[in-house]
Amino acid sequence: SAVISQKPSRDICQRGTSLTIQCQVDSQVTMMFWYRQQPGQSLTLIATANQGSEATYESGFVIDKFPISRPNLTFSTLTVSNLSPEDSSIYLCSVEDRAANSPLHFGNGTRLTVT
């Protein structure tokens, strides 16, 4: 199964700043996904990132707030912009292993606290 490395594992940021989260996979994957897990909540899909195309955002998430890059088949970044305390969450990167008919693998997540 794919090994996903996510950085940073946690961060504390000030209101109004931005945080960029990196996701590195040890194999080439077509699709990468970014999820948010708010405190005490379940996971919600933010967007789907394909290499070489614009990310596809879910309802309630916009590119200006959550810009995503996908420069190659093993790497993606998610930026959370103009931070507010409501952005305090765990952000998780995941990948699909369709060749193995396998569901999503998840990174360990980035725990963001906004002060």
Partner 1 sequence: AQSVTQLDSHVSVSEGTPVLLRCNYSSSYSPSLFWYVQHPNKGLQLLLKYTSAATLVKGINGFEAEFKKSETSFHLTKPSAHMSDAAEYFCVVSRPPNTGFQKLVFGTGTRLLVSP
Binding site for partner 1 (CB under 8 A): 4, 31, 41-45, 48, 92, 94, 96, 98, 101, 103-109, 111
Q: What whole-number distance in Å separates Cα of residue 71 and Cα of residue 77?
A: 9
Residue 67's DSSP bridge partners are none
Q: In this complex, which beta carbon is closest to partner 1, that of residue 89 or of residue 107?
A: 107
In angstroms, give the least distance from the CB of 16 to partner 1: 27
CB of 75 to partner 1, least distance (A): 18
Q: Cβ 92 to partner 1, closest distance in Å? A: 7
Q: How far apart are CA 86 and CA 58, in angstroms?
A: 18
What's CA 105's distance to the chain center, in Å?
13
